[in-house]
Structure 1
Amino acid sequence: MRLFIAVQVPEFVKALASTIKDELSTAGADIKWVEHENYHLTIKFLGEVERKEIVNIREKLKEAAQVSTPFDLAVSRSGCFPGRNRPRVLYLGITGQTHMAEELARRIDAGLIQLGFEPDHRRRFHLTLGRFRSQNNKEKLLDLADNLQHEMERKFHVDQFHLMESQLSKHGPVYKVLETIKIS
């Protein structure tokens, strides 16, 4: 099973991301866009995991949630990884109480390290809009992204996160919630 841990964003954030995606797609860049229903904030990607490990993973996630506090985040301006010269990922940035999101992620890491998972060293919370397949029309798309006229600071409250399964299909990934963990 291909697993990851994520925060599901509210519908109004997904709607904003979809509107931005629709506007940016007019640039004709060679990009694979994320589907509306798949927008989320990844806390940690676990990769391939055997089904029998899920019980222990759930326990560590619940332990991290019990000593964490709910927090508020907001989507902000667009950007790209690793940079404008050779972008691979186009995203919306995340602002707000990111230090609390980072603390939750560190607690999750600490528990999962005990189960043999590697810690994340380069985490930056973001909402992926799409992945570049090539550099065709990238400048046009990035210039368009720089000039977006939307009210970007859409705030949302985070009081839970999810253990998710990613099933790959010929039409793209299908995400399934395996467990919802409430933050105390």
Structure 2
Amino acid sequence: MADNIRIFTAISIPANITGQIVSHLPEWKTQLKFQRWVDPRDLHITLHFIGDTSISTISDIKQAMTEAVSRSSVFPLELSNLDIFGRKDQPSVLWLGLKEIPESLLQLHDKLGQSLHSAVGFTSETRPYRPHITLARKYAANETCTPEMLQSLSSPFLQHQTTFDVNRITLYRTRLGERPMYEPLVELELNK
């Protein structure tokens, strides 16, 4: 299976927003005892996780992405509070959410899923789409990770610029064990 690579499509986070996140990481890391923190160069919002795929399908995937972006225009996203997946006493993932999920994002997600299905037989997940930026994994503290704690740690971050325009989508390759772990393979711009 040497010709297979693990890939996903995503919205990359612009440098100014990544900088805002990075400036708050020392406080978050001190207060929230997660074992593995995401390299800031790997911050993104996943659109579709495609998984292990033959390198030979990349051109078909690029074509599917081209079709989806040709029917999508630039739109804004606004980041919101820190949140978790998993139990409060043992969360599996720390993430930043969106203030709201705009219809433009849902349409892009849907169009891309349909194009990928037509091009390479990709099947979207059946659970609802929950766009977010993963920050850390594997909580390792004894105290519960409460909503109040997450709200308190989010407040200083939300005083800064947290809105950005989504103007492109990226196809990433996962390189397990490397930093950064995600390598951009294809980047396509949305309509202005």
Task: Name the residue aligned to 2:124.
Answer: 119
Q: TM-score, normalised on structure 2?
A: 0.85
For structure 2, the 5+ residue unaligned runs are none
Q: 2:165 — aligned with what?
A: 157
Q: Which secondary structure state, in structure 2, belongs to the residue aligned with residue 87 of structure 1?
A: strand
Q: For 1:32-181, list aligned pairs within 5 A.
A: 32-96=36-100, 98-114=102-118, 115-121=120-126, 122-132=128-138, 134-137=139-142, 139=144, 143-148=148-153, 149-152=155-158, 154-169=162-177, 171=178, 174-181=181-188
Aligned CA distance change for structure 1 residues 136 and 97 (closer, same or farther; 3 Å): closer
Contact 2:169 2:188 in 1 (8 A): yes
- What do the CA deviations read for 1:76-100 (whole angstroms, capped 9, x no partner)? 1111114535421111111356221
* Deviation at residue 70 of structure 1 after TM alignment: 1.1
Please report how far the alpha carbon of residue 29 of structure 1 lies from its aligned counterpart in structure 2 after TM superposition.
Answer: 1.5
Partner SS state of residue 121, structure 2: coil
Instruction: Mark the runs of 5 or more structure 1 residues left unpaired by the alignment.
Output: none
- In the TM superposition, structure 1's runs of 4+ consecutive aligned residues that sit over 6 Å from their partners are none
Q: Secondary structure at the match of 1:150?
A: helix
CA contact (8 A) 2:39 2:180 kept: no
Match of 1:182 among 147, 169, 189: 189
Q: Is the 8 A contact 1:27 1:137 kept in 2?
A: no
Q: Say if 1:29 and 1:151 are closer, same or farther in 2 by CA, change over 3 A.
A: closer
Structure-2 separation of matches of 1:84 and 1:138: 9
Q: How many residues align?
A: 182
What is the alpha-carbon distance in structure 2 between the residues aligned to residue 3 and residue 159 of structure 1? 20
